[in-house]
Chain A
Amino acid sequence: METYIWAFVIGGLICVIGQLLMDVARLTPATTMTILVVAGAVADGLGLYEPLIDFAGAGASVPITSFGNALVHGALLEAKTYGLIGILTGIFEVTSAGISAAIVFGFLAALFFKPRG
């Protein structure tokens, strides 16, 4: 039960950060998402993101920040086994589900539907 509450709160707070970047710093959505992804990668580099996921569950794994986290994770996992070259070979390993799903479903969408305007 507690995880659900924290999922809501942490997820909501990360979104508020995004909203502030867009409304106060006047950044475009693309710039905002890019900043958040990089922040997630850096946070995982500092060892801070995994504890957040343990604590808040989907509140930390659903926002785009977790994408940065997953990229670093994949790279570090492979690097442990294969050394520096593992960084390149492992980057997309963990995020494969997300990227593949987005490409496939996006393509299917364009195949069967028209935009509504």
Chain B
Amino acid sequence: MSDAKKKKLTPVQQEYHDFARQREPNRPLLLNSLRAFAVGGFICLVGQFVQDFFLWNFDFTEKTAGNPAVAVMILIAVVLTVSGVFDHIAQWAGAGTAVPVTGFANSIASAALEHRTEGFILGVGGNMFKLAGSVIVFGVVAAFVVALVRTVLSTLGGP
């Protein structure tokens, strides 16, 4: 993908890109990955505890205990968002907070908070999915295609 972009650059521009790239601080990849691993793993661990809590103390089965667990994780993420700490944790943890469902919840809550000044209907309602929208749209479209393929294949006599 970056090659396609480079082909459209003139030689002078390409030379400048290389010049600038050499003077750009590199993203600390190893450090970021370690942090993402640690925080992401920890969040999933918390999710596991919450799930087990619902499993042991309420009438949920293994399959259904995931639902309230996810709701609790989302609530935690929203609370951290409104208290203004989520973005600081995320700066440190990167994908560790973004990839779990906490990232999804934060994207919705932060957009809702931000656009409150434009009113609840147009602002909050209209902008809430600014960041999460792509995830929902592509998740649904992908699921539709996958389910369609699976269903057609099984009707044609597959597994």
Q: Which residues of A contact B (CB under 8 A)?
A: 3-4, 7-24, 26, 29-34, 36-38, 40-42, 44-45, 57-59, 61-68, 71-72, 74-76, 79, 83-84, 87-88, 91-92, 96-103, 105-116
A-B contacts at CB below 8 angstroms, number: 259
Complex CA distance for A72 and B71, rounded to whole angstroms: 20
Given contacts A30-B134, A63-B40, contact A97 B70 (CB under 8 A): yes
A8-B44 in contact (CB<8A): yes
Q: Is the CB–CB distance between B139 and A68 below 8 Å? A: yes
Whether B89 sits at the interface, judged by CB under 8 Å, is: no
Within 8 A of A (CB), among B25-62: 27, 29, 32-33, 36-48, 50-51
Residues of chain A within 8 A (CB-CB) of B9 are none
Which residues of chain B from 113 to 159 have any CB-CB distance to chain A below 8 Å in the complex?
A: 113-116, 120, 124, 128, 131-132, 134-136, 138-140, 142-144, 146-151
Chain A facing B: main interface SS? helix
**3 nearest A-B pairs in the assembled complex, by CB-CB distance:** A11-B44, A15-B40, A12-B41
Tell me how far the C-beta of B114 lies from the nearest C-beta in chain A, rounded to whole angstroms: 6
Q: Cα distance A79–B151 when bound, in Å?
A: 7
Which residues in chain B, 73-103, are within 8 Å of chain A measured between CB atoms?
73-75, 78, 81-84, 94-96, 98-101, 103
- Are the CB atoms of A63 and B151 closer together than 8 Å? no
Residue among A13, A61, A99 with the highest chain B CB neighbour number at 10 A: A61
Assuming A8-B44, A19-B94, A76-B147, is B142 touching A36 (CB within 8 A)?
A: no
The 8 A CB mask of B2-31 against A (1 = contact, 0 = none) is 100000000000000000000000010100
Please tell me which one of the listed residues A63, A68, A91, A107 contacts residue B99 in the complex, with CB atoms under 8 A apart: A63
CB distance from B118 to the nearest CB of A (A): 11
Candidates A58, A91, A96; contact of B143 at CB < 8 Å: A91
Cα A91 to Cα B111 in complex, Å, equals 25
Chain A residues positioned under 8 Å from B43 (CB to CB): 11, 62
Contact A109 to B81, CB < 8 A, known contacts A62-B44, A98-B101: yes
